[in-house]
Amino acid sequence: MRREKDGGPFGRKSSKVLIAAVVAAMLAMYGHPAAAQPRETVQVTGSSTVFPFTSAVASSIARAAGGERVQVTSTGTVHGFAQFCRGSNLQHPDVQNASRRMTAGEFSLCVRNGVNEIMEIPIGFDGIVVAHRRGLPSPNFTLAQLWMGMAKEVPQGGRIVPNPFTSWRQISASLPDWPISVIGPPRTSGTRDSFTELAMLAGCRTFPEIQVITDAAERTRLCSTVREDGGWVDGGEDDQAIVRRVTEGRDGTLGVFGFSFLQANRERIEGSSIEGVDDAAETIASGRYPLSRPLFLYVKRPNLERVPGLKEFLAEYVSDGAMGSGGYLLRIGLVPVDSERLLQVRAVVRDRTIMMRRPND
């Protein structure tokens, strides 16, 4: 019996034609599966410190547009970079809020996942404050005293021992007789990274017992590990919740968070001096305040053409109304860059300038 060359009406050739027709119909209805699905809103993730500023810009755009155009979530700087660098398609965020500069490791993660064109936009400065309930006498901490109060292990009698201090007065007669009780940011927070670098590491390195340790990893571990006996408590990514716990806690409870949250709650909390310098916009902008740090946005440049509203979002962020003298971001606590630096920041946005070097190079 003779077979049809193409296998009859349901043979190989006819089956291929049928499958091709079905696929063509599906593509016509749903688009190519590899193509990025369109998204109507800008997605921003990252730092809880930068969150209030980006949210204010998003609200300004929403009022002008008559609806939400920018979605902002607060995940912490570390988790934010993990999401931002996960991929280049529109399933992942367009913008990363960061309360510190991107690390070399985060940059490498982005590159490995195809996120190759990244704009780095400095938006201003922040100071990490060590705040207490309003009405109490404000301490003047040295960095060494902060470390002695918060570290898990400290020098005593020529040895490194578990932290024995239960009150600040035990560390120095110049400090108040408050129990050591600090609520601070978690490990996923850029504020925690910055506090570790600016306060813990800097304060720790002043001690001879630490200086003689030759193992760099061991020195870093001792300097950066906070106590686990209740003297330090991770407060989560919600800085406003840390403010509330400070105001509702016992006298002398301290909170570690960004300057803007101090500004927004002046009627309830006050900041401590650090190395004799008060936490003020002027001292933070000048760098005299020891716990000053820059704040950033990181943006996927290709998404400027792929996501409606992203260009407008960046333009609004660096506008006179937002970042200029008297702008609404300054009114809610952003410490601004100077006028010359602001022109440079606007040029990055205008020219869509990408990072040309690895962070920390």
Spatial neighbors of 241 by CB under 8 A, at least 6 apart, are 235
With vertex at residue 170, the alpha carbon angle to CA 201 and CA 212, rounded to the nearest 5 degrees, is 35
Spatial neighbors of 328 by CB under 8 A, at least 6 apart, are 56, 60, 321, 322
In whole angstroms, how far apart are CA 2 and each of 5, 7, 126, 219? 9, 11, 84, 85
- Domains observed in the chain: 42-126+294-351 (3.40.190.10), 127-292 (3.40.190.10)
Predicted local confidence at residue 157, as pLDDT = 87
Spatial neighbors of 209 by CB under 8 A, at least 6 apart, are 155, 158, 159, 160
Q: What are the φ and ψ backbone dihedral angles of 7, each rounded to 5 degrees?
A: 85, 20
DSSP for residue 304: G
- Chain centre distance of CA 209: 33
DSSP for residue 103: P
CB burial readout 284-296, b (16+ within 10 A) else e: bbeeebbbbbbbb
Closest CA to 147 of 100, 190, 103, 210: 210
DSSP for residue 335: B
Low-confidence ranges of the chain (pLDDT < 50): 1-10, 12-36
In whole angstroms, how far apart are CA 182 and each of 17, 132, 264? 70, 10, 20
In sequence order, the β-bridge partners of residue 256 are 130
Pairing of β 70-72 and β 232-234: unpaired
DSSP for residue 302: G
Predicted local confidence at residue 38, as pLDDT = 74
| Cα separation, 212 vs 120, whole angstroms | 39
Report the length, in residues, of the chain.
361
Closest CA to 95 of 310, 305, 309, 258: 310
pTM, two decimals, is: 0.80
Is residue 57 within 8 A of residue 317, CB to CB? The reply is yes
Predicted local confidence at residue 37, as pLDDT = 61
Predicted local confidence at residue 113, as pLDDT = 96
Helices 77-84, 104-112: inter-axial angle, 10-degree rounding = 20
Which residue shows structure tokens 């490498």? 108
In whole angstroms, how far apart are CA 287 and each of 125, 291, 312, 323? 9, 8, 31, 19
Closest CA to 152 of 98, 248, 78, 229: 229
